């Protein structure tokens, strides 16, 4: 998909904020060749592109001229049938799927879950768990078996057994053997939603009922809850322990020496560059990204958050990676809801909450469209299922296939359509039995049909969506036709481009320039020596070799042709041939050896092809608009236009 960077079709993948207009939004503001454009459409685009501007009669008139140009191009694209080609339809469908997403969810529930997530972000939970594996597609028998196993472990704990010992006995989380099920502290979005919900809902010291996630059943014991720590920004120097004799002792001693240097005032950045074994951060002074709870190994995290002031440096601490010296660079608490809202919305859309809001929305649609579902029919079809459903050869009697599997808004959907979807699939991977697979897929198919039906109603239900879809539709058309008429044409039309350059050379001029060599000297003594060498006719390479014999910092030499704006030093150079005086510059002294002053001349075509192409595109567009304004009539309703002010 292309990003449309056109004045009236700004591509922003967010829901349009739409306000009711005081005027009659269906009033005609513009007519082009008999087609009426409403105040609603114009004002929607105008306000979006003039959010912070004072609206005046002149600004409305000026913008209307741009709007007319836009609409004329769209009219021409439609006249050429560009809105009927497959490429256009495919691209628009792709945009629609993205734009429709916010409208196909339970907004009230979404807002509630966002607020819930924010409130939870202000608290951190420490919990332990026991996991009994159970695949999401497990049979009812296997699911019950896993649940009973989890309940057995929970009962043992409630009867007095220690949680960590029970976790080592029962849990199928491999880490339980080492940590007894202890997950440490965590906060919102760091666990799958169902687990997070179970942990935040369980009081400290208590054990939850089994909580189902995609991994299986979890028995959760909450051991602590605390106020969220916020986020911290640190740099570190890491010393790895080498696998050699005395490797541990040497690493510890090295870390202590580096720490002593840091405490003595040596630059932490320089020490990290010289000594840190963390190659990914040593060149940037050891700087790490901002992080919060449960993002680093526990020892590192505890030491970092123990630093109370920016600039404070920790004594060396040991982790599984080696020794670390940590310097605090910054700290921030949890922001306000408004500051966090955008990120929370993004995070909610990616975890289990999104499925919950979708399910709630589907439930509302079922009521709105009087949805019915023939479960008996689905069970009859499932009873005929065998492994052929995974091979695309599943046979079902025509009698069953003719029956409606569900209805939406009075429309009947025959079982044959679902059967075709299943038989078109091949090589399905699932642990479900064929019958369970058919039952679960039938529900998914019916719910997707419900969402598709709602999708067809969006323009009628939501003005914002209708207007935004129209922007995208016309924006894609405008892009395609402008590409044909202007952008690609200017690039491909080499003859037209050359002729345009030949007829407009005065637009592509070099400014007055200077052919000069700059000698940047460390001090006046070196500048004096350089003058002697220049007078003797010594080449620049030999001058550099002699002057920089002991250090590369005594002189830097730069040659070239420059306009005055290319180098600020040229403000202090007399534009005449010969050597300049010593010019103090950034603590050094510059000698400018001016070889020639070049008058303003036209650029060669090869030197300005990109600029010529841009100007030629502007010319082509101007001519095209003149042609369209002649071809199509237009009239503005000034009274409606100026009523916006």
| Same domain (yes/no): 498, 622 | yes
240 shares its domain with 321: yes
Q: CA separation (Å) from 47 to 15, 226, 624, 644?
A: 15, 46, 27, 10
Cα 396 to Cα 421: distance, rounded to the nearest angstrom: 13
CATH code for the domain in which residue 527 is found: 3.10.50
Under 8 Å between Cβ of 547 and 532? no
Total Cβ atoms within 10 A of residue 105: 20
Does residue 183 lie in a domain region? yes
Q: Which domain holds residue 439?
A: 369-455
Q: How many CB atoms lie within 10 A of CB 547?
A: 22
Structure tokens at 579: 């050597």
Please check whether residues 469 and 581 belong to one and the same domain.
no
Distances (CA, A) of 240 to 151, 235, 280, 301: 45, 16, 14, 18
Q: Retrieve residue 287's tokens.
A: 């700087």
What is the spatial order of strands in the sheet that 211-213 belongs to? 182-186, 123-133, 216-227, 211-213
Report whether 567 contacts 585 (CB < 8 A): no
103 three-state secondary structure: helix
287 lies in some domain: yes
Given 455, 472, 491, the domain boundary residue is 455
Q: Note whether 486 and 617 are same-domain residues.
A: yes
Of 78, 36, 40, 291, whose CA–CA distance to 185 is shortest? 291
Tell whether 254 is covered by a domain: yes
Q: Is residue 108 part of a domain?
A: no
Cα gap 232→438, rounded to integer Å: 50
Name the DSSP letter for residue 207: B
Question: Helix, strand, or coil here: 589?
Answer: strand
SS3 track for 5-63: EECCEECCCCCCCCCCCCCCCCCEEEEECCEEEEHHHHHHHHHHCCCCCCCCHHHHHHH
Residues 222 and 159 in one domain: yes
Q: For the chain, what's the residue count?
A: 645
Angle between helical axes of 268-275 and 247-263 (0-180°, round to 10): 160
Domain boundary, last residue among 165, 197, 227:
227
Transcribe 375-432 into DSSP letters.
HHHHHHHHHT--GGGGTT-----HHHHTSEEEEETTEEEEHHHHHHHHHH--S---SS
495 and 626 together in one domain: yes
Judge whether 238 and 321 are in contact, CB under 8 Å: yes
Question: Do 239 and 318 lie in a common domain?
Answer: yes
Q: Are residues 470 and 558 in the same domain?
A: no
Question: If the chain, 645 residues long, is cut into consecutive pieces of 10 residues, what is the mean pLDDT of each piece?
Answer: 39 34 79 95 92 89 96 96 95 94 93 96 97 91 96 97 97 95 96 97 98 97 96 96 84 93 95 92 95 94 97 97 97 94 92 92 97 98 94 94 97 97 84 91 96 96 95 95 94 94 94 96 96 96 92 90 93 93 93 96 94 96 97 96 91
| 193 lies in some domain | yes
Is there a single domain that holds both residue 392 and residue 412? yes
Cβ atoms of 491 and 613 within 8 Å: the answer is: yes
Same domain for 314 and 242: yes
The answer for residues whose C-beta is within 8 angstroms of residue 339's C-beta and 6 or more apart is none
Q: Residue 147: which CATH number?
A: 3.10.50.40
118 in a structural domain: no
634: β partners: 32
175 found inside a domain: yes
DSSP-assigned letters across all residues of 80-93: TTGGGSHHHHHHHH
Pair (263, 403) in one structural domain? no
Half-sphere exposure of 229 (CA within 13 A, CB side): 22
Tell me the CB-side half-sphere exposure of residue 59, using CA atoms within 13 A: 14
Whether 389 is in a domain gets the answer: yes
Structural domain ending residue among the three candidates 168, 196, 227: 227
- Nearest to residue 469, comparing CAs of 20, 102, 47, 22? 102
Question: Tell me, what's the pLDDT at 88?
Answer: 96
Tell me the C-alpha distance between 406 and 23, whole Å: 44
Res 244: pLDDT: 77
Q: How far is CA 582 from the centre of its chain?
A: 52
Q: Do residues 427 and 490 both lie within one domain?
A: no
- How many distinct structural domains can be found in the chain? 5
The alpha-helical segments, DSSP class H, found in 493-591 are: 494-503, 524-535, 540-547
Alpha-carbon distance of 169 to 130, in angstroms, equals 9
Helix (H) or strand (E) holding 172: none
How far, in Å, CA of 216 to CA of 135, rounded?
6
């Amino acid at each position: 998909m292309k990003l449309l960077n056109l004045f009236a079709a700004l591509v922003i993948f967010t829901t349009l904020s739409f306000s009711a207009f005081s005027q009659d939004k269906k009033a005609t503001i513009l007519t082009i060749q008999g087609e009426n454009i409403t105040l609603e459409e114009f004002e929607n685009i105008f306000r979006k592109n003039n959010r912070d501007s004072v609206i005046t009669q002149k600004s409305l008139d000026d913008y209307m001229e741009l709007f007319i140009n836009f609409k004329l191009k769209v009219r021409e694209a439609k006249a050429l049938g560009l809105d009927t080609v497959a490429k256009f339809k495919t691209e628009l469908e792709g945009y629609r799927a993205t734009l429709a997403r916010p409208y196909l969810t339970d907004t009230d529930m979404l807002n509630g879950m966002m607020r819930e997530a924010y409130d939870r972000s202000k608290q951190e939970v420490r919990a332990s768990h026991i996991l009994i594996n159970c695949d999401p597609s497990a049979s009812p028998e296997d699911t019950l078996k896993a649940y009973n196993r989890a309940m057995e472990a929970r009962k043992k704990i409630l009867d007095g057994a220690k949680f960590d010992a029970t976790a080592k006995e029962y849990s199928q989380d491999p880490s339980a053997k080492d940590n007894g099920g202890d997950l440490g502290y965590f906060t919102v979005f760091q666990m799958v939603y169902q687990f997070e919900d179970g942990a935040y809902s369980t009081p400290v010291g208590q054990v939850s009922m089994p909580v189902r996630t995609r991994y299986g059943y979890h028995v959760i014991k909450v051991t602590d809850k605390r106020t969220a720590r916020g986020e911290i920004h640190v740099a570190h120097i890491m010393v790895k322990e080498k696998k050699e004799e005395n490797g541990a002792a040497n690493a510890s001693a090295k870390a202590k020496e580096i720490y002593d240097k840091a405490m003595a005032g040596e630059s932490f950045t320089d020490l990290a560059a010289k000594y840190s074994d963390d190659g990914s951060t040593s060149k940037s002074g050891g700087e790490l990204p901002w992080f919060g709870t449960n993002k680093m190994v526990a020892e590192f995290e505890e030491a970092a958050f123990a630093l109370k002031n920016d600039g404070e440096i920790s004594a060396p601490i040991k982790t599984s990676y080696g020794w670390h010296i940590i310097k605090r660079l910054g700290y921030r608490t949890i922001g306000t809801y408004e500051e966090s809202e955008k990120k929370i919305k993004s995070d909610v859309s990616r975890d289990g909450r999104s499925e919950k809001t979708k399910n709630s929305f589907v439930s509302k649609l079922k009521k709105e469209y009087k949805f019915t579902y023939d479960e008996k029919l689905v069970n009859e079809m499932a009873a005929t299922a065998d492994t052929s459903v995974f091979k695309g050869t599943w046979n079902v009697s025509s009698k069953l296939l003719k029956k409606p599997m569900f209805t939406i808004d009075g429309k009947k959907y025959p079982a044959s359509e679902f059967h075709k979807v299943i038989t078109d699939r091949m090589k399905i991977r699932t642990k479900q039995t064929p019958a369970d697979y058919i039952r679960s897929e039938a529900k998914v198919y019916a719910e997707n049909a419900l969402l598709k039906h709602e999708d067809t109603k969006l323009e009628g239900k939501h003005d914002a969506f209708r207007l935004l879809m129209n922007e995208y539709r016309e924006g894609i058309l405008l892009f395609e036709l402008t590409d044909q008429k202007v952008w690609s044409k200017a690039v491909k039309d080499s003859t037209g481009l050359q002729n345009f350059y030949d007829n407009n050379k005065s637009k592509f001029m070099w400014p007055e320039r200077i052919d000069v060599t700059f000698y940047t000297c460390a001090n006046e003594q070196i500048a004096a020596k350089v003058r002697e060498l220049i007078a003797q006719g010594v080449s620049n390479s030999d001058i550099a070799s002699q002057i920089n014999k002991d250090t590369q910092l005594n002189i830097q030499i730069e040659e070239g042709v420059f306009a005055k704006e290319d180098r600020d030093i040229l403000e202090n150079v007399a534009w005449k041939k010969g050597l300049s005086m010593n010019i103090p510059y950034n603590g050094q002294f510059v000698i400018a050896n001016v070889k020639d002053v070049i008058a303003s001349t036209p650029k060669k075509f090869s030197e300005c092809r990109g600029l010529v192409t841009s100007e030629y595109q502007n010319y082509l567009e101007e001519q095209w608009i003149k042609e369209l304004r002649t071809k199509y009539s237009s009239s503005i309703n000034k009274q409606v236009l100026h009523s916006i002010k």
